[in-house]
Amino acid sequence: MAIWNLGSINADMVYSMPHLPAAGETLAALRLDRFLGGKGANMSVAATRAGSEVHHIGAVGSDGDWAIERLKAYRAGTEHIVQVEAPTGHAIIAVEPGGENQIILFPGANRLISKDQLNQALDKASAGDILVMQNETNMQAEAAQLGRQMGLRVCYAAAPFDADAVQAVLPYLDFLILNEVEAQQLQQAIGKSPGQIGIKDVIVTLGSKGARHIDGETGAVLDVPALPVTAVDTTGAGDTFTGYVLSGLDRGLAMAEAMDQASRASALMVTRHGTADVIPELAEVQAARF
């Protein structure tokens, strides 16, 4: 079995600032840290580190060789990442000493994935494989529809939330994962809670309160607690959770076990600074004592 991830690839450039710059202000940064990021890349790395075969479907610009090399080094499949005539997606993140941030996000190449590229990639997928998407690329609805036709298990992480984007994929989903705020936004948009929209598996992540699975067919609810850790940076916690849950299901775990592993992985993640580069390996997750 394999996981096919139609996902974003970003350079996260984190500038430590004495304060957030005001309009018109020029301000020197104290430090620059560069990370591989993007929800898609984070999920590919998480699912790979959890032990799955992952094929990333995405795009970078001519300035994006390093991102492909980094994903390869993390053992994610990069054969369906193309280079296009646009800059690689990037986030310019200013952080002040109190932790408050300001982010400029440039989607760039992430929005230039072609239908041909998608078709060629999914042509290699087999029924029963998992297809996952987030809302940082184009081609989401096309991928979801094709995935459903091919008998893939189609999963959508509804982030960053956009009511139109999520409604375009809803008819094709087997699995929806979203955080508490996104769950409220979805309810406002369609007048139903995520558990009432007829999707078999729904997970709402609840930050330090854990995560809830709702079986959309039976209405059964399963709560998985978060683990007691001191959080220093929650960036990428949700992506780590999603990558680990999907990998758990891909490796044949029951939903409860997959969520338990995901909860442990994302608890470790919030104790670390950074995104894809610091997602824990399965062995660390299994060995961790909380």
CB of residue 285 to ligand ATP, shortest distance in Å = 12
Residue 160, preceding peptide bond in cis (omega within 30° of 0): yes
Would you call 215 a catalytic residue per the annotation? no
129, 174, 201, 239: the active-site residue = 239
From the centroid of its chain, how far is CA 15?
A: 23
CB of residue 208 to ligand ATP, shortest distance in Å = 4
Give CA–CA dist 161/178, Å, rounded: 9
Q: Is 41 annotated as a binding residue?
A: yes
Q: Is 128 annotated as a binding residue?
A: no
Give CA–CA dist 203/183, Å, rounded: 10
Return the number of the residue (80 or 212) whose C-beta is nearest ligand ATP.
212
Return the number of the residue (21 or 210) whose C-beta is nearest ligand ATP.
210
Q: Is 179 annotated as a binding residue?
A: yes
Single-letter residue type at 270 = V
* Backbone dihedral angles phi then psi of residue 58, each to the nearest 5 degrees: -165, -170
Instruction: Kindly state the tokens that stand for 184.
Output: 């409220």
Q: Is 210 annotated as a binding residue?
A: yes
Single-letter residue type at 60 = V
Return the number of the residue (145 or 271) whose C-beta is nearest ligand ATP.
271
| Residue ranges binding ligand ATP (CB under 6 A) | 159, 179, 205-208, 210-211, 226-227, 229, 231, 234-239, 241, 263, 266-267, 270
Straight-line distance from the first to the last Cα atom of the chain, in angstroms, rounded to the nearest whole number: 31
Interior angle at CA 276, CA 195 and CA 210, nearest 5: 35
Interior angle at CA 114, CA 177 and CA 149, nearest 5: 55
Query: From the CB of residue 149, how many other CB atoms can be counted at a distance below 10 Å?
Result: 10
Q: Is 208 annotated as a binding residue?
A: yes
Which residue is closest to ligand ATP by CB? 238
Return the number of the residue (206 or 288) whose C-beta is nearest ligand ATP.
206
Torsion sign (Cα): 158, 164, 168, 170: positive
CB of residue 132 to ligand ATP, shortest distance in Å = 14
CB of residue 28 to ligand ATP, shortest distance in Å = 28
Single-letter residue type at 188 = Q
Residues in the chain: 290
Q: Is 206 annotated as a binding residue?
A: yes
Instruction: Report strand pairing: 175-179 vs 153-157.
Output: parallel
Q: Is 171 helix (H, G, I), strand (E, B) or coil?
A: helix
Return the number of the residue (73 or 232) whose C-beta is nearest ligand ATP.
232
CB of residue 137 to ligand ATP, shortest distance in Å = 17
Q: Is 17 annotated as a binding residue?
A: no
- Residue ranges for the known binding site for K(+) are 233, 235, 269, 272, 274
- Residue ranges for the known binding site are 10-12, 38-42, 136, 179, 205-210, 233, 235, 238-239, 269, 272, 274
- Residue ranges for the known binding site for ATP are 179, 205-210, 238-239
Q: Which residues are catalytic?
A: 239
- Residue ranges for the known binding site for substrate are 10-12, 38-42, 136, 239
